Amino acid sequence: MYYKSIHFIQFNNITYIYQMLDSLLIIRGKGPILITGPHAVKTIRNKSEIHHEEEYIYEIVNKLYKLLGPKLCTVMTWNVDFFEDTNLYPYDPNFVTNIEKSIWFKQLKSFKRKNPKFYLHLDIHGMKNHSTKNHLEFGMKAVQLHRPGLTQHMKPVIEEAFESLNIPYSFNSKFQGWGMNKYTVANQGVLLGFFSIQLEISTDIRKKIHTSDVFARKFANGIRKIYKQWKVEMKKPKHRNKTIKRKKKRFNSTKRRKTRHKK
C-alpha cells in the first residue's frame, strides 16, 4: 500500500515544504531545555512501514512546556490537527538515513544558530508497559559515544532528579537512542552539540503525567534538577566553547590567515 507522505513531497519540492513548516510543526518557547515528541502522529519508515502514534506524547510535550515555561523550555512536535485534517503521514524523524533531507534536523540546526548555547535535549517516546521491566528508559548511547565523561557524570544526577517518582528505570538497555544505519532524533541533536537523551516512558506513566498534575509537576521538577546540574557542567571550559557559532569563527579566522598567506 502507498501512503501519502510529507517525505515524498519533500523530495519533489523542498521550497513547498518550507512554506508548510508552520503547518507541520508546533514550536514554542526559547528556553535551553529542548523537549521533542516525534511520534505524536503516525509516521512512515522505509517508504511504506507505518509507525503508529504513541499515546499522550503530544499532551505530555505541551504539559511540560506549560510547567517549565517559555524562558526555560523549547518544545517541538508535529501539528496533530494538521495531520488529522489532511490524512498525510510525515516521515519518521527518528528513523532517518539522510539527515540533510530531514525537516527536523534542519529545525534543530535552526535552534542551534539562533541560540548557540548547548541544549539539554529530552526526546520523549512511548513504550509499552511490557517492553521492559522499567517505566523509564534513558537512551544515552549517542551522547555517550561523543562525550563519555560527561555522560557518566550526569547519570547519578538523573537518578537523583527522578528519585521522588519512585518508579524503576534503566540506562541504555533496550532503547539506546542510537541506530547503526539510521539517525535517531537524539543522535541528530548530539551531532549539533546537544546533550540529547531518548526518554522512553511506559504507557501507565505517560497516562499518569497526562492525568495527574501532582505527578506531572514532580516530573517537570526532575527535569529542572537535571538542567541545573547540567548547566554547571556546561560552564566548564572543556564544554562551553563547543558551539556552531564559535566553530564558525575559528573556521573564518583560519580562512583569513590562509588568504593572507597566499598574497
CA 234 to chain centre: 18
pLDDT above 90 covers what percent of the chain?
54
What are the phi and psi torsion angles at 33 (to 5°)? -95, 110
State pLDDT tens for residues 87-97: 888 999 999 98
Q: Residue 141 pLDDT > 60, yes or no?
A: yes
Residue 62: its pLDDT value, please? 97
Q: Is 101 helix (H, G, I), strand (E, B) or coil?
A: helix
Domain spans of the chain?
6-234
More confident residue, 144 or 238: 144
Q: Is 184 helix (H, G, I), strand (E, B) or coil?
A: coil
Q: What is the band of 124 on the pLDDT scale with cuts at 50, 70, 90? A: very high
Tell me the residue type at 138.
F
Mean of all residue pLDDT scores within the chain: 82
CA distance 177 to 124: 11
The pLDDT of 188-204, averaged and rounded, is 93
Residue 148: its pLDDT value, please? 81
Question: Is-contact 206 56, C-beta < 8 A?
Answer: yes
Q: What is the band of 7 on the pLDDT scale with cuts at 50, 70, 90? A: very low
State pLDDT tens for residues 145-188: 888 878 888 889 999 999 889 999 999 877 877 777 889 999 99
Task: Choose which CATH entry (1.10.3210.10, 3.40.50.970, 3.40.630.100, 3.40.50.80) describes domain 6-234.
Answer: 3.40.630.100
CA distance 244 to 259: 22
Picking from 107, 151, 124, the residue whose alpha carbon sits closest to that of residue 210 is 124
From residue 5, alpha-carbon distances to 11, 90, 204, 263 in Å are: 11, 5, 31, 52
Residue 213: its pLDDT value, please? 97
Picking from 122, 121, 204, 196, the residue whose alpha carbon sits closest to that of residue 167 is 204
139, three cell numbers: 537512551
> Which pTM was predicted?
0.83
What is the per-residue burial (b if ≥16 Cβ within 10 Å, else e) of 34-55? bbbbbbbbbbbbeeeeebebbe
State pLDDT tens for residues 111-122: 998 877 678 999
